[in-house]
Structure 1
Amino acid sequence: MHPDIPRRHELRACLWLAVLVTVLHPASAHASLFHGETLDAIANGISWVAIVIAPIIGIAIFWLVHILPKKIAEKKKHPQTKAIQCLCLLSLCFGGLLWPLAWLWAYSKPVLHKLAYGTDVDETIGHHGEAKEEKSEIRAAARARRRTRTAGQQQGRAVVMGDWKYDVISVGYPGPVLRGCPKAEPRNLAPGWVGFDFEAAFERPVKIINDAAMQALGSYDGGTMLFLGLGTGLGSALIVDGCVHAMELAHLPYKRGSYEDYVGIRGLEKYGKKKWRRLVADVVEILMDALRPEEVVLGGGNAKKLKELPLHCRAGENADAFRGGFRLWEKRVTSGHLRIRIA
């Protein structure tokens, strides 16, 4: 054997031993790239972020998400925006459990509101979800109109009223009326009714009720009476023992539309007089079964197109509206001395 071979084996063994010692020898460990005060400062910053800043951001995001239904309702001019906003606030107290209900409510169609008031939008909400006029601004504008009466207003009043002498004014409004004020703009007239100060304009006391209710009041003789006005649409009012209830029966569902679609002017033009008369008789029968009035008064311009009146019905006259306007200011108007109340 060559004398250098044992030496080569020894040298190789020494190298392997050195590598093994190097690998197994414990090196000094470092937990971070930073040391001392720098490490403490970074730890303090992370603590502030986790304890203060992150919760604030989370609360802000939670709040923004929770007011989304209110923003959606304002954009869609939902008439129940205030109620949706209240539900959003309640949801905050219950940890967000009510938020899905508020979201669904904002996207739903207010069917019952439309039946009650004849509209499914809130006309007081602007295009950007802000109120067109706040209540304080309306009151301020009314005060300003009283203080600064323009010559144009006085001249306009003189043209309309002429030399009439009057003490009070009654207004029959073709739309929903709430607490003596128009609730929504009329569908078939120019806007400007909602928020208008009639007493300031006429300088007289003013009472406003639905036009069908006013004609019903003029037709009333006591008991329970249902009034149906056959005109452009279908006006309706119910009087029970002197209490006048203006109603929006025209928008209730009937067949493939609403009562107004069949017995209003559109139904008359679409179906002709013969079928329209049968539809009127059918609608009167349905409403009598539902409301149980002692009698029904059929008024409006198209009532004269009926050849025969349905059972328990009598025809009203346009003059009844004038009589109803006078009765608004009387305390007792019937033979039974009933006190009139506007619901």
Structure 2
Amino acid sequence: MNEPAKRLLVIGPSWVGDMVMAQSLFITLKQRYPGATLGVIAPAWSQPILARMPQVDEVLPLSVGHGEFGLKTRRELANRLKGRFDRAIVLPRSWKAALVPFLARIPERVGFLGEQRYGLLKERRKLDKQVLDQTVKRFVALGLPEEEVASGRFTIPQPRLEIDYDNLVNLRIQHALSSRPAIGMMPGAEYGPAKQWPLAYFHTLAKRLVDDGLEVRILGGPKDHIAGQEIVQGLPQAHNLCGKTALADVVDLLADCRQVVTNDSGLMHVASAVGTRVQAIYGSSSPDYTPPLTNKARIHYLGLECSPCFQRDCPLGHTNCLNQMHAETLYKAVSADASERLKP
């Protein structure tokens, strides 16, 4: 007899890149449980990303600020969920992340050990960092039986976000974008300066690309607007769109780019998930831990003796892991990949 369809709930992560990577878990769950319904508890900002994932049947926004406990809000959400789900998968390892499924009395609740969650989870798994050496593997593993996870040889589906082409047409008109082939640039990295390639290098690269007849689009949030202005300074075919577009718009604009040059950031994972070729720059972080989940990526990582340090600011004060990666290197990579794309 076939296993009955499940009502599944995932407590999602709080970062853009992690939410994109979580789609690998969503795909896995829908493949393993055909006919299952999937709900995701997530911050309100993530709804535009989740709306582009056909595996997600329902988004349950949790309006709690970063670092805020919000017991009343969590209890109210839990009360609305009682009796609606059979199994909850808790991706964050914090105590508070496991609270809603516990209060909702969801019978099966699985997650990794962390922050004294012994009473909150029914199935508490030990995190083997040797086997599960990437964030996406840890997400997918929680959707599989432990015996399948132990070997480390399980499939990681690539995230794939849907594109709204009508919205893309409107965006091109609204922002007076040209018909030139576009290169996206994402200079931001929410984690900190040790993940951010120098703005002067982005500017130099943008100038070379504009001179080659390409359009450059700087993409990011409101916090990245000043950085975007520095990059596009004096470049008529470079557009600073930071803070001028919603997250759903950025998805479509990235899909319209031939390539992107990006720090290790949430938008790097978005670009990967829309099928755009990615030039991924790593400084303090590691491409082994959070690689772009696509076969169309080129990794730029110097692998210095002090790398990766995983710090927000360079502890040695020089940030050589990024400063020694010059604009010419990225220009040659973009040019080489553009030539490869044109081959018959």
Shorter-chain TM band: under 0.3
Higher helix share: 1
Q: What TM-score results when the alignment is normalised by the length of structure 2?
A: 0.24
Which one has a bigger Cα radius of gyration?
1
